[in-house]
Amino acid sequence: MQPKKVIVIGAGFSGISAATSLARKGYEVTVLEKNEGPGGRARVFREQGFTFDMGPSWYWMPDIFEAYFQKFGRKPADYYELVRLDPSYTVIFGENDFMPVPAGLPALKNLFESLEKGSGAKLEKFMQQAAYKYQVGMQKLVYKPGRSFSEFLDPRLLADIMRMDIFSSIRRHIGKYFRNPKIVQLMEFPVLFLGAVPENTPALYSLMNYADMALGTWYPMGGMHKIVEGMVKLAEEEGVQFKYNQAVQEIVLENGRATGLKTAAGLLTADILVAGADYQHVESKLLPEKFRSYTPEYWNNRVLAPSSLIFYLGINKKLQNLTHHNLFFDEDFGPHAQEIYEDPAWPKKPLFYVSVPSKTDDSVAPQDCENLFILIPVAPGLTDTETIREKYYHLVMDRLEKLTKQNIREHVVYKRSYAHNNFIQDYNAFKGNAYGLANTLMQTAILKPGLKSKKVTNLYYTGQLTVPGPGVPPSLISGQVVAEEIAKEYG
């Protein structure tokens, strides 16, 4: 019997994960990618001896990667070398006010205790509860396809959910344990990965604190794209074919069923389609209106995670007073975090993040040089111009140079910026978002856009705009979940 043909649109983490999982189940799988190489937002580029990861730079939840490769009888070490960072990252609160965050709970307890008496013991209690949430959330809830309330009707799972603090905010939850403003900012920081302000994010997501502080911050030597390279190699070992520079122009339909796709190269036929590209783009641009599951009003009413203004900089000297990951909270985190998500204008005093992977990895920059990645989280849907980008470049560099006490701009030998217009051009990202939908209570599980089309019988979705949500580990899981749903329906 001829295996069923699946076409996956998009070679990001979720698309590669779905393709590899389906190939292992016996499907004939082809991945179409509009860009020149794999990775989606985790692409890579090289200039003047520098290697720049374009998007994700944090390696959290190593167990999720282990579990993914284990499904195929492999392990991450077969494809890339991981090192644990210590300090995990540094938080900069102001001039001469740097807080390296150590790896490991014993050192973290000592740090907390130095800031607030009794907080070391409170951290231990907080993390015990966060560990439970992580176990239930990352081993049970995130693997639910979110297609029906009935998925959550198992009495044991319901009991777990009632202990997960879904209806309380992470800000309120953290406030029960800690008062010191630096500790509070540190504990709220992982919420930035979820795309919503702390008061709107369920306390369930203290599981992110467990991922951060207990499981640690890691780095794949050679850069984050080494994960993509490993996943593509594994996919090809499983029989997946990749076709690049293949932008999909139209989904071809017949009697409410997709029969294939049109690209500039012609028509490709398929029995099943998996869209790992931007969900809103696939619906609004590739399908006729009557076959769309959601209206324009629906999409416009979604709470999106932020976009980003990114600068990739090559520096011709070694830099002082920076570690691999650096969070600049020298402006108050609370009100300025609100700007990122809710203010329809560019922020006045932006938070920003600096990654210097060359502090860990000599291969990503020429000798005696540094590789600098600067990210400013900003609201989606903003007007993006070169003038605005340049303004924010100098605004951030002023602060960076002052706080780290060194000249940097005059040593920049390579510079590239990336923001809303690029996200739209390269990924068809709705409103230029960088991270998908915010993880608010009303956009969790079955309240997210569904992983199967309501109108096209054999069209499925995967990635950051559907279950389980934004981020690299959730995208890995999303691909596996959609593969399981397809296997249930098609065998």
Domain finish residue from 215, 242, 277:
215
What pLDDT is recorded for position 335? 64
Both 226 and 167 in one domain: the answer is: no
Residue 236 counted as domain residue: yes
Both 228 and 187 in one domain: the answer is: no
CA–CA gap between residue 380 and residue 172 (Å, rounded) = 26
Tokens of 86: 């210590």
Considering only residues 166 and 235, tell me which one the structure prediction assigns the higher pLDDT.
Answer: 235
Lowest average pLDDT, out of 133-142, 272-281, 370-379, 387-396, goes to 133-142
Residue 429 counted as domain residue: no
Report the candidate in 251, 213, 228, 237 with the shortest Cα–Cα distance to residue 89: 213
- In sequence order, which residues have a C-beta less than 8 Å from that of residue 231 and are 6 or more positions away? 13, 16, 17, 20, 38, 79
Both 196 and 229 in one domain: the answer is: no
- In sequence order, which residues have a C-beta less than 8 Å from that of residue 252 and are 6 or more positions away? 258, 259, 260, 261, 262, 267
Considering only residues 199 and 34, tell me which one the structure prediction assigns the higher pLDDT.
Answer: 34
What pLDDT is recorded for position 433? 95
Task: Report the mean per-residue pLDDT for the chain.
Answer: 94
Residue 480 counted as domain residue: yes
pLDDT at residue 454 greater than cutoff 70: yes
Both 178 and 242 in one domain: the answer is: no
What pLDDT is recorded for position 333? 65
CA–CA gap between residue 268 and residue 265 (Å, rounded) = 9
Residue 390 counted as domain residue: no
Q: What's the pLDDT band for 491 if we cut at 50, 70, 90?
A: confident
What pLDDT is recorded for position 452? 98
Both 124 and 207 in one domain: the answer is: yes
**What residues make up the domain containing 274?**
5-42+64-74+222-302+437-490
What pLDDT is recorded for position 156? 64
Q: What is the CATH number of the domain that holds 211?
A: 1.10.405
Average pLDDT score over residue span 86-102 = 98
Both 210 and 114 in one domain: the answer is: yes
Q: b/e per residue, 409-439, with b = 16+ CB within 10 A?
A: eebeebeebbbbebbbeebbbbbbbbbbbbb
Q: b/e per residue, 162-201, with b = 16+ CB within 10 A?
A: eebbbeebbbebbeebbeeebbbbbbbbbbbbbbbbbebb
Report the candidate in 378, 374, 388 with the shortest Cα–Cα distance to residue 328: 374
Tokens of 264: 């500039």
Both 211 and 226 in one domain: the answer is: no
Evaluate the omega torsion of the peptide bond into residue 87 and state whether it is cis, within 30 degrees of 0.
yes
| pLDDT single digits (tens) 291-326 | 999 999 999 999 999 899 999 999 999 999 999 999
Residue 92 counted as domain residue: no
pLDDT at residue 179 greater than cutoff 80: yes
pLDDT exceeding 70 applies to what percent of the chain?
96
Average pLDDT score over residue span 52-60 = 98
Both 36 and 114 in one domain: the answer is: no
| Bridge partner residues of 169 (DSSP) | 202
Report the candidate in 21, 86, 452 with the shortest Cα–Cα distance to residue 274: 452
| Bridge partner residues of 261 (DSSP) | 251, 268
Both 174 and 249 in one domain: the answer is: no
What pLDDT is recorded for position 161? 67
| pLDDT single digits (tens) 261-274 | 999 999 999 999 99
Residue 460 counted as domain residue: yes
Average pLDDT score over residue span 158-185 = 88
| pLDDT single digits (tens) 64-76 | 999 999 999 999 9
Residue 372 counted as domain residue: no
Q: How many domains does the chain have?
A: 2
Domain finish residue from 215, 235, 266:
215
pLDDT at residue 368 greater than cutoff 70: yes
CA–CA gap between residue 239 and residue 247 (Å, rounded) = 22
Q: What is the CATH number of the domain that holds 250?
A: 3.50.50.60
CA–CA gap between residue 425 and residue 427 (Å, rounded) = 6
pLDDT at residue 157 greater than cutoff 60: no
Domain finish residue from 185, 215, 245:
215
Tokens of 201: 């994010």
Both 118 and 264 in one domain: the answer is: no
- In sequence order, which residues have a C-beta less than 8 Å from that of residue 409 and are 6 or more positions away? 397, 401
Number of other residues whose CB lies within 10 A of the CB of residue 138: 21
Both 126 and 171 in one domain: the answer is: yes
pLDDT at residue 129 greater than cutoff 70: yes
Report the candidate in 97, 76, 100 with the shortest Cα–Cα distance to residue 88: 100
Q: What's the pLDDT band for 165 if we cut at 50, 70, 90?
A: confident
Both 114 and 209 in one domain: the answer is: yes
